[in-house]
Chain A
Amino acid sequence: MKKPLQLFWSFFKIGAFTLGGGYAMLSMVEKAVVDQKKWIPTDEFWDMIAVVQSLPGVFAVNTALYVGHRVAGTKGAFAAMLGAIIPSITIILLLATVFREYRDQPVVERIFKGIRPCVVALILAPSLRMIKSAKVTWKTAIIPIATVFLIWWCKISPAYVILAAIAGSLVYALIINKKAKEKEVRS
């Protein structure tokens, strides 16, 4: 089988069977690409993932594109990407037609009435975990608080908030890098 086709099939299986978002998918990608096919060495794979994680966009799509590109060029990149998203698109299209048909059924409405508050909790919980892992102090707590205030209270588009945050973080990173360099020069 040709490489792009193999890539498509590997990512199709991963896209069709991994629940729980992008990161749950990683070990499956590693197994397929590194262990079984031996397309990419382990350390190079994780270096690549480190770069991909820092990019905007859909994590699974980015991973597929980079792995595909590394293994088989442009054809590989597109084959892997299509493999990763076709299962999702198909499943949602099928569900969307069914859901529209049945959502006004009292039984379905009752079930979703119970689910909605749970979804709110499932969104709030990881955001607080993220604050913990980002080591936010009392001084830096102003950043998430301001973000919430601007988006939730002032209804400012998150797009502007993200752009402002990127600008701020970049300045912060430049200062840190400069300090690190000065230290190097001194020692």
Chain B
Amino acid sequence: MIYLQLLWVFVKIGVLGFGGGYAMLSLIQHEVVDHYGWMTMTDFADMVAISQMTPGPISINLATYVGYTTAGLGGSLLASFALCLPSIIMVYLILKLFMSNKNNALMDNTLKGLKPAIAGLIFAAGLSMMNLQNFPDFGRGQYNISVIICVLAFVASYFFKANPILLIVISGIIGFIVY
């Protein structure tokens, strides 16, 4: 049963995951945390951090981890394979259908229209992670260090395009010192 669920969930993510790794986070988060409860929101945040610091696609990393924690080695291989399955089918279908220029213009414009929605999707994934598990000192009358880290990391990333790995390492060091 768990195998079937993993297969279904990750095939779905592979089919609907437009717009790169971050856009897939929202889909994965909804299925894995909200719907099936295979991971908590803190597990999810930790895995995103680990994925950022290790090579390879973030969605493959999450699929492997979720598969492993729910159904062992077999589960991890199945979840990763399920994620790739739609892509494998597409190589053969889309290569023939969409390589022509006529269809390309239509697809380009469709994707342009899709982009604002994908941005919203990613933003929602971030918002959903703003909870007391990830911000444990929020509103407890202490210095809100977690909020300060979040704001500073946001400024560094958005305005200065700081390296995400560097930001994660610095935040980890701050966490080690202050908590």
**Which A positions have Cβ atoms within 8 angstroms of B?**
15-23, 51, 54-62, 65-66, 69, 77, 81, 85, 87-89, 91-93, 95-96, 99-100, 103, 107, 109-131, 133-134, 136, 140-141, 143-148, 151-152, 155, 157-159, 161-163, 165-166, 168-170, 172-174, 176-177, 180
**Contact pick for A162, options B16, B61, B147, CB 8 Å:** B16
Structural contact, B49 and A119, CB atoms closer than 8 A: yes
A65 CB, min distance to chain B CBs, angstroms? 5
Closest 9 A/B residue pairs (Cβ): A114-B175, A88-B56, A147-B120, A169-B113, A144-B120, A173-B109, A118-B171, A121-B153, A165-B117
Which residues does chain A contribute within 8 Å of B170, judged by CB atoms? 118
Structural contact, B173 and A127, CB atoms closer than 8 A: no
Which residues does chain B contribute within 8 Å of A111, judged by CB atoms? 172-173, 175-176
Inter-chain residue pair count (beta carbon < 8 A): 352
Which residues does chain B contribute within 8 Å of A110, judged by CB atoms? 175-176, 179
Which residues does chain A contribute within 8 Å of B165, judged by CB atoms? 19-20
Main secondary structure of the interface of A (DSSP, over half): helix
Which residues does chain A contribute within 8 Å of B157, judged by CB atoms? 121-122, 125-126
**Which B positions have Cβ atoms within 8 angstroms of A?**
12, 14-18, 20-22, 24-27, 30-31, 34-35, 42, 45-46, 48-61, 64-65, 68-69, 73, 76-77, 80, 83-84, 86-88, 90-91, 94-95, 98-99, 104-130, 133-136, 145-147, 149-154, 157-158, 164-165, 167-168, 170-176, 178-179
- Complex Cα distance, B51 from A115, in Å, reads 13
Structural contact, B113 and A168, CB atoms closer than 8 A: yes
B12 CB, min distance to chain A CBs, angstroms? 6
Which residues does chain A contribute within 8 Å of B49, judged by CB atoms? 112, 115-116, 118-119
- Complex Cα distance, B89 from A61, in Å, reads 12
Structural contact, B56 and A85, CB atoms closer than 8 A: yes
Structural contact, A148 and B123, CB atoms closer than 8 A: yes
Structural contact, A144 and B86, CB atoms closer than 8 A: no
Which residues does chain B contribute within 8 Å of A57, judged by CB atoms? 14-15, 17, 83-84, 86-87, 90
